[in-house]
Chain A
């Protein structure tokens, strides 16, 4: 019997064939993430006159298995920003912890809540700052060939307290637009949102209610057509007054009438 720890619990070669123990070899190449494991699907967001509405469903899939059904993929930071995470859930959790410690470090030197006259302006992390930081982090990780497998939307306010919405992906690519969607949403939800906010001016005319309605409509379409989506979702509205986050919303007024005419959606006899 081989008592070396490396051999503990391993199947015997003479019975099962050579065992690939490469992952235990300290001199071998480092294994970085090659593909995401537990994943979240689309995140959608749209700007309106005073802020941003952002939504994502509460599902974390394991391949095609709907594995975790109450995962909150919208996360609030510094009480003023919501980040929506698509892609790998463990990387999302890593980023969540990382940003939490960043926010704690920031609070050490936070000036008083109502700084006395003549004091320095409030130092705080706004959405634009967080987005820049995350984009640099994602780019640095892709440059190490060890990417954080996420596509993020950052919703909040910029330095001038104007609505801010921008995306960053696992390659460090960034872009900003009046409406954004990740994953399937970029094909299914983005055309709907662009009808209401084709440009910044149009987005600036949208009311909060209109923006929420559009996003809810998008979540419904995504649930109809994205097989890795869920009817339970989170939605957040970010404005100057803070973050209004609801984490247990249900899709309303679904109508599957359209499906009857489509082969593969339901029971079909011919």
Chain B
């Protein structure tokens, strides 16, 4: 106990001690009690077609068992020329911690806008997808606590959906569900979009079974699928409901519809 004896030659004997870090009564380091994250519930879903992409999300915002608001959009247009986003070509949905989601959306939007001003053309979805991954990974050690899904049309005009984990790992997919009811919607999508466990009738039994050929959905079918997926999720998950915001991007632009969901 060197600290017990003063550097001050005038003093000898017991001293005043000065410890370094705040500790609890048990002598353990006291940790920050503030939790910078919360979960605002909700669910999102995106499906890519041959020449369109649908990005959808419910509009409920929750804190615990409380509903904050019945209309809080989770799907955003990205990279339009102005704040009205009339000429945007990319969609982003974010679900998880809403404040992080909006911060992420604002950053990606600003970057896409600057790209547009500098290059005189909108950013491609594939470029935007990579950029979003970088933004997320930049906060690898204090992540944006969101499940992001990016949608648009690729350079060939085909529907494109990119899905991300909170730290930027990403993948292009045919469809993806995110958020609270992701685990409820995903198997439905596996079956209805990717035709998993669907076989050609009469093709035999066991290993002889022939899988049904996977073809992109037509737009109308995909839209019905989205509505059905959410109607199902609403029944089984308390954090999902109120409204369904569905944005469809085609070569003609972005269409947005708001459909009612159960508000219970």
Is A28 in the interface zone, CB < 8 Å from B? yes
Knowing A143-B36, A171-B37, A175-B61, say if A29 contacts B22 (CB, 8 Å): yes
Tell me, in angstroms, the Cα distance from A14 to B102 when the chains sit together: 55
Q: Of A4, A186, A190, which one neighbours B8 at CB under 8 angstroms?
A: A4
Identify the stretch in B63-71, B119-127, B221-229 within 8 Å (CB) of chain A at 4 or more residues: B63-71
Tell me, in angstroms, the Cα distance from A190 to B21 when the chains sit together: 43
Q: Of B8, B11, B19, B99, which one neighbours A174 at CB under 8 angstroms?
A: B99
Range of interface residues on chain A? Answer: 35 or more
Contact B8 A2 (CB under 8 A): yes
Contact B17 A13 (CB under 8 A): yes
Q: Of A4, A13, A180, which one neighbours B14 at CB under 8 angstroms?
A: A13
Q: Of A33, A174, A177, A200, which one neighbours B102 at CB under 8 angstroms?
A: A174
Within 8 A of A (CB), among B48-90: 61, 63, 66, 68-72
Contact B32 A25 (CB under 8 A): no
Tell me, in angstroms, the Cα distance from A34 to B68 when the chains sit together: 24
Q: Of A2, A25, A173, A190, which one neighbours B15 at CB under 8 angstroms?
A: A2
Q: How far is the CB of B56 from chain A (nearest CB, A)?
A: 19
In this complex, how many residues of chain B approach chain A with their Cβ under 8 Å: the count is 36
Q: How far is the CB of B35 from chain A (nearest CB, A)?
A: 9
Tell me, in angstroms, the Cα distance from A115 to B99 when the chains sit together: 39
Within 8 A of A (CB), among B122-176: 142
Residues in chain B near residue A259, CB distance under 8 A: none
Q: Of A6, A187, A199, which one neighbours B16 at CB under 8 angstroms?
A: A6
Contact A14 B11 (CB under 8 A): no
Tell me, in angstroms, the Cα distance from A29 to B30 when the chains sit together: 11
Contact A21 B19 (CB under 8 A): yes
* Minimal Cβ-Cβ distance residue in B for A18: B17
- 1/0 per residue, CB under 8 A from B, across A26-45: the answer is 01110111110000000000
Is B98 in the interface zone, CB < 8 Å from A? yes
Tell me, in angstroms, the Cα distance from A177 to B15 when the chains sit together: 60
* Minimal Cβ-Cβ distance residue in B for A7: B16
Residues in chain B near residue A139, CB distance under 8 A: 99, 103
Within 8 A of B (CB), among A142-167: 142-143, 145, 147, 167
Contact A175 B72 (CB under 8 A): yes
Contact B16 A171 (CB under 8 A): no
Residues in chain B near residue A27, CB distance under 8 A: 20
Residues in chain A near residue B61, CB distance under 8 A: 175
Residues in chain B near residue A200, CB distance under 8 A: 71
Residues in chain A near residue B70, CB distance under 8 A: 177, 199
Contact B15 A13 (CB under 8 A): yes
Contact A28 B20 (CB under 8 A): yes
Knowing A2-B11, A13-B15, A186-B66, say if A171 contacts B21 (CB, 8 Å): no
Q: Of A1, A12, A143, A190, which one neighbours B66 at CB under 8 angstroms?
A: A190
Is B183 in the interface zone, CB < 8 Å from A? no
Tell me, in angstroms, the Cα distance from A19 to B10 when the chains sit together: 21
Is A176 in the interface zone, CB < 8 Å from B? yes
Knowing A2-B16, A145-B36, A199-B70, say if A175 contacts B22 (CB, 8 Å): no
Contact A145 B34 (CB under 8 A): yes
Is A10 in the interface zone, CB < 8 Å from B? yes
Q: Of A22, A142, A145, A175, which one neighbours B18 at CB under 8 angstroms?
A: A22
Q: How far is the CB of A25 from chain B (nearest CB, A)?
A: 6
Residues in chain A near residue B71, CB distance under 8 A: 176-177, 200
* Minimal Cβ-Cβ distance residue in B for A23: B22
Q: How far is the CB of B50 from chain A (nearest CB, A)?
A: 37
* Minimal Cβ-Cβ distance residue in A for B101: A173
Residues in chain A near residue B23, CB distance under 8 A: 20, 22
Is A84 in the interface zone, CB < 8 Å from B? no
* Minimal Cβ-Cβ distance residue in B for A140: B103
Knowing A22-B20, A32-B32, A143-B36, say if A14 contacts B14 (CB, 8 Å): yes
Chain B positions near chain A (C-beta within 8 angstroms): 6, 8, 10-11, 13-23, 32-34, 36-38, 40, 61, 63, 66, 68-72, 97-99, 102-103, 142
Can you report 8 residue pairs joining A to B where beta carbons are below 8 Å apart?
A19-B16, A22-B19, A25-B18, A135-B99, A139-B99, A139-B103, A143-B36, A147-B36
